[in-house]
Amino acid sequence: MKQFYIYIHCRPATAQHPHGEPFYIGKGHSTKGCRGRAHQFYEETNLYYARVVSKHHKDNILIYVWYCKSEKKSLLFEKWMIAWGRAQGYRLTNLTDGGEGVSGYKHTPETRVALAKKAHEQWTLEARAVASERSLGIKQTPELIAARSKSMLGNQNGLGYKHTPERCAEQSERMCGKQIVKGYIRITDGINNKMLKPNMPLPQGWRKGRTGKNVSGYIWITDGFSNRRVKRKVPKGWSRGMTL
């Protein structure tokens, strides 16, 4: 479920504006708190906005976020905030009065083909393999985990929501044995996983498959031919992981 919010980008704090002078007011949404448009800078769509960001640098921009209960309220709040900011004499870079939104907009078939072609050109097999290798084994620090947990406190978006059994079965079937990068295979040493080209020899101590991880109390196990999930205890002749 989506969490809608209003965000304000402000110039660095000064004596006249101790909390920073607002220069852009926008509306966004995310399924993971406010780590969406609020923390991104769209400099290519607004030259005035881009110059302000370039002058003060992204790291010095102050960001404020207000959550809204619905998209309709977030659009109304955005429109009101822009009008209020202009009335206060703030040097806003907004090109419109706000409240427009693009909810429900659908790209034309031609645009979808162009976007797909651009994505394929950007995310080649080599680029995907590099991105996968770069993120492999990265763990969040305790400080980052604590900060994210604190930022999510009070966010009840999706609270109590559960997928239907049919949806759960569909997702499980789709993800079972899925390879992230087409043309590559997963290999594991029993602890770590990584991608490998099929024509490359397996490193010593590694095998095809991946190490299963605990998911809601279940782990993936394999007998070398088939895969299934069990609760922790591994039957004789089976081992942790998955055969692709």
User: Is 70 exceeded by the pLDDT of residue 17?
Assistant: yes
Give me the amino acid identity at 160: G
Asked which of 73-77, 174-178, 233-237 is least confident by mean pLDDT, the reply is: 174-178
Q: What is the pLDDT of residues 161-187, one digit of tens each?
A: 778 888 877 777 666 655 455 567 777
Question: Looking at residue 204, what is its pLDDT?
Answer: 82
- Residue keyed to tokens 């029993």: 190
Q: What is the DSSP string of 6-36?
A: EEEEEPPP-SS-TT--EEEEEEEEESSTT-S
Show me where the domains of the chain are located: 3-87, 109-152, 165-240
- The residue among 99 and 59 whose pLDDT is bigger is 59
User: Is 70 exceeded by the pLDDT of residue 56?
Assistant: yes
Question: Looking at residue 88, what is its pLDDT?
Answer: 92
